[in-house]
């Protein structure tokens, strides 16, 4: 029989050390509360715990009484670099290999589907103006954004002012580079002074944050024209936001996947020339796959996250979603770099060259995952064959870890719950549109019961994973993989390795499929060199969803 003291300890453990329900409601009613945490204490040990738990509760309450904005980072900063490895900082001049001439189409509506690298040449040669291009995209946004449910705020007035300025500068010979005058959109978790930043979630509709994200500032410096803030799955999960479900432009019965839902959908439908998205665990790869975009998830720390909604302080990454991998390179070069306002950023070179010989690249592939049975297997096998036709030697790569990688994911969950602690405690999470068991509201609640000890031990396992993955892959410039093969998506989001995902065909429902290319930390240049050659030899990035062609 339990003593009164024992019941008090059980209650405090339940409230402070965290369990979801009382054990009288479980199928193990006789087990003590600590068994939830895979622990076993004696009755004397439980009695001794009581005063400690009371102290912890006071600490929790003190923290809760202090306002912590989402923008306040952790004091601990994740560094993805393996022990003894440093990123090169020797930047060489970039040889983009842009086309010398691009013809203007007879039907200017076709410009909506031109890649950035072609639009850039047209603007620089003054065959089109930024203003005309901006008006074209604004018109398409007004016509199609509701169909796709992909836009939150269309920034027409400020966009036309930026476009006019770009035209004036170009006319005077002040050309800022390949993005000058190019209209684009951003995922609405990035701040822009004077606009709402809703994070796609009902509790944050109308939210105004008085700053502009570093990425947006860098694109402004590059002369790009911001025309729209695009949808995201609420608080960066999925494609469900407070206004509905963002659609796949190839099949309006499907969501666009997420959480960079609007960024992928709008880009592929020709509503923007490119878009900025974010990834914590698949939020660039997944919507790029569903919609047929070319997406770049950069190395963790390559792009500043200042001004972006924090979900996971040690896993969030910002990158472009475009019509081609080459476009991704042009955008990445503009947004990358060290930023004092984001302590996770590192200075590193991006030595892309259009003249990189493919035979110089050492390319591996995860044979075991290609050999498995999965829905896009035929398209992936065709990709491997196409690469071989380009003269690429594909070297089988075997990697199988004993580390419980899936368990390390609790770091993301705990950090996300901390990012939205006040939302959970205030019960405003009940305002969220998606209340399914695995959606954020319930996930945040459950994550309150992850012990700090387990979070720290998961971090230690992650350190081992970084070393192990580096040792297994360090001899390769690029690794080809099924986009959702094995554990690679979770693994490389934990290790911080970059990924380029591109379309490689269609499934039996008429929606795109994708293939992914991984690289060394800060090895974006090598990946894009290979993928650009692959895309120039194939047709998939040129495909246009017929519903959005006039």
Say yes or no to pLDDT of 148 above 70: yes
Say yes or no to pLDDT of 265 above 70: yes
Count of beta carbons in the 10 Å neighbourhood of residue 109? 13
Q: Which position among 118, 120, 130, 187 bears the catalytic label?
A: 187
User: Quick one: pLDDT at residue 27?
Assistant: 54
158 given a catalytic annotation: no
What distances in angstroms separate CA 516 from CA 57, 376, 390, 397, one per listed residue? Answer: 46, 12, 17, 15
276 in Cβ contact with 179 (< 8 Å) = no
Q: pLDDT tens digit string along 459-498?
A: 999 999 999 999 999 999 999 999 999 999 999 999 999 9
Measured distance CA(429)–CA(422) in Å, rounded: 9
Query: Domains of the chain: which residue ranges?
Result: 4-64, 109-346+356-401+456-548
Max Cα-Cα span within the chain = 87
DSSP structure class, residue 237: S
User: Quick one: pLDDT at residue 33?
Assistant: 80
Q: Which position among 120, 257, 283, 324 bears the catalytic label?
A: 283
187 given a catalytic annotation: yes
Say yes or no to pLDDT of 119 above 50: yes
Both tokens of residue 405?
A: 């990688």
Q: pLDDT tens digit string along 40-57?
A: 999 999 899 989 999 999
**Chain-centre distance for alpha carbon 470:** 22
**Chain-centre distance for alpha carbon 476:** 24
Q: Output the pTM of the full model.
A: 0.94
259 given a catalytic annotation: yes
| CATH code, 109-346+356-401+456-548 | 3.90.1300.10
**Number of residues that this document lists for the chain:** 550
Q: Which position among 10, 130, 257, 259 bears the catalytic label?
A: 259
Measured distance CA(268)–CA(263) in Å, rounded: 9
User: Quick one: pLDDT at residue 550?
Assistant: 80
533 in Cβ contact with 390 (< 8 Å) = yes
């Amino acid at each position: 029989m339990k003593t009164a003291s024992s019941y008090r300890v059980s209650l405090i453990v339940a409230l402070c050390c965290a369990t979801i329900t009382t054990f009288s409601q479980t199928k193990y009613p006789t087990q003590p509360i600590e068994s939830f945490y895979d622990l076993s204490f004696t009755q004397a040990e439980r009695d001794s715990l009581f005063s400690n738990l009371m102290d912890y509760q006071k600490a929790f309450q003190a923290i809760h009484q202090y306002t912590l904005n989402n923008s306040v980072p952790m004091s601990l900063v994740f560094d993805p670099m393996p022990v003894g490895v440093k990123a090169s900082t020797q930047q060489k001049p970039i040889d983009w290999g842009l086309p010398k001439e691009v013809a203007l189409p007879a039907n200017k509506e076709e410009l909506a589907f031109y890649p950035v690298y072609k639009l850039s040449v047209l603007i620089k040669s003054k065959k089109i103006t930024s203003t005309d291009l901006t008006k074209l995209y604004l018109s398409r946004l007004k016509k199609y954004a509701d169909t796709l449910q992909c836009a939150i705020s269309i920034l027409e007035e400020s966009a036309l002012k930026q476009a006019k300025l770009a035209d004036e500068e170009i006319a005077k010979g002040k050309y800022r580079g390949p993005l000058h005058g190019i209209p684009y959109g951003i995922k609405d978790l990035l701040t822009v002074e004077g606009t709402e930043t809703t994070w796609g979630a009902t509790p944050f509709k109308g939210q105004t944050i008085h700053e502009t994200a570093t990425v947006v500032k860098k694109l402004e410096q590059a002369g790009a024209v911001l025309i729209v803030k695009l949808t995201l799955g609420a608080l960066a999960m999925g494609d469900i936001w407070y206004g509905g479900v963002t659609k796949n432009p190839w099949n309006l019965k499907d969501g666009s996947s997420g959480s960079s839902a609007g960024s992928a959908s709008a880009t592929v439908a020709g509503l923007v020339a490119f878009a900025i998205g974010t990834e914590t665990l698949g939020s660039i790869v997944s919507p790029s796959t569903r919609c047929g975009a070319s997406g770049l998830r950069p190395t963790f720390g390559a792009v500043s996250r200042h001004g972006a909604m924090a979900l996971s302080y040690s896993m969030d990454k910002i990158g472009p979603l475009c019509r081609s991998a080459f476009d991704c390179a042009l955008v990445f070069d503009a947004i990358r770099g060290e930023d004092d306002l984001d302590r996770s950023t590192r200075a590193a070179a991006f030595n892309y060259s259009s003249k990189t010989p493919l035979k110089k690249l050492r390319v591996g592939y995860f044979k075991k995952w290609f050999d498995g049975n999965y829905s896009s297997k035929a398209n992936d096998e065709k990709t491997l064959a196409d690469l071989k036709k380009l003269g690429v030697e594909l070297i089988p790569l075997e990697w199988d870890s004993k580390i419980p990688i899936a368990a390390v994911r609790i770091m993301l969950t705990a950090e996300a719950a901390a990012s939205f602690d006040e939302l959970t405690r205030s019960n405003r999470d009940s305002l969220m549109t998606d209340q399914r068991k695995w959606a954020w509201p319930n996930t945040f609640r459950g994550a309150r019961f992850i012990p700090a000890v387990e979070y720290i031990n998961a971090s230690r396992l992650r350190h081992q994973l970084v070393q192990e993955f580096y040792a297994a892959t360090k001899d390769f410039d690029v690794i080809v993989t099924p986009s959702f093969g094995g554990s690679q998506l979770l693994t490389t989001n934990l290790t911080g390795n970059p990924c380029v995902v591109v379309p490689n065909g269609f499934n039996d429902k008429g929606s795109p499929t994708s293939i992914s290319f991984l690289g060394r930390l800060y090895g974006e240049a090598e990946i894009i060199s290979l993928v650009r050659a692959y895309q120039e030899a194939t047709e998939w990035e040129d495909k246009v969803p017929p519903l959005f062609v006039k």
